[in-house]
Amino acid sequence: MAQTDFEAVYKEIFPFWDAISDKEKDDICENSHVVSYPAGKNIHNGNDCSGVILVRSGSLRLYMMSEEGRDITLYRLHRGDMCMLSASCVLDAITFDVFVDAEEDSECYVIGGSAFASVAERNPCIKIFALETAVSRFSDVMWVMQQILFMSMDKRLAIFLLDESARTGLDLIALTHGQIARYMGSAREVVSRMLKYFSNEGIVEVSRKGVKILDKKRLRQLVSLQNPNGGKSF
């Protein structure tokens, strides 16, 4: 991909682009690559400075992992989303380890971490952008923790199904029980039992294609029981 193509993309997505010098723009573009990741590929491991990742197509999953090997999905990134937590050398305040996997075949722009960090050191506007981008994701992380710590499984599953339906615009959630469990930070057996209950109640239909939502009103009622005073809406 030509440097001018990178510059055209970055001009659209980086609010600081016009405030940095031509040489700094060149440094970022020259250290940018288009990378294709197959489904299941680990992209970022722990606190390595893999760089800034922009998703062109596909889906990435960010997660934390315990010493025992159990992981909790923090959030997922789709087309147009940016991963700043993979550039730990830019964000000194981020001291915990996060991992990034490609959930499906994905194509991304990757800006080398050291090059981006070097330009950021000379331009506070870039550092501020990086921090604001990372902080904006912490609301997603806190929402995940709130669900895991304080919500019952039926309400968590209802929220997940409504979220996925809203994101894709479809009533069919084309995910396996294992994938849903991984995204929710639960066990596959627990998710399967709850989906069976939802199916028996006529809320969803479970098949090899995935989970089809039949009664969104019932799902919303489950969510409102958990959040009588507001909260995330669907």
CATH number assigned to the domain covering 151-226: 1.10.10.10
- Tens of pLDDT, residue by residue over 214-230, are 999 999 999 986 444 34
pTM: 0.76
Q: Mean pLDDT throughout 49-63?
A: 93
**Which fold is adopted by the domain 3-139?**
Jelly Rolls (2.60.120)
Q: Are 215 and 161 in contact (CB under 8 A)?
A: no
For the chain, how many residues are written?
Answer: 234
Query: What amino acid is encoded at 59 in this protein?
Result: S
Using the predicted structure, report yes or no on whether residue 182 has a pLDDT greater than 60: yes
Beta-bridge mates of residue 75: 62
Q: What share of the chain is helix, strand, coil (3-state, %, to 5)?
A: 45, 20, 30
Q: Mean pLDDT throughout 139-163?
A: 91
Question: Mind giving me the DSSP string for 43-105?
Answer: EE-TT-B--EEEEEES-EEEEEE-TTS-EEEEEEE-TT-EE-TTBTTT-TT--S--EEEESSS
DSSP assignment letter at 10: H
Average pLDDT, the chain: 89
Q: What are the structural domain ranges in the chain?
A: 3-139, 151-226
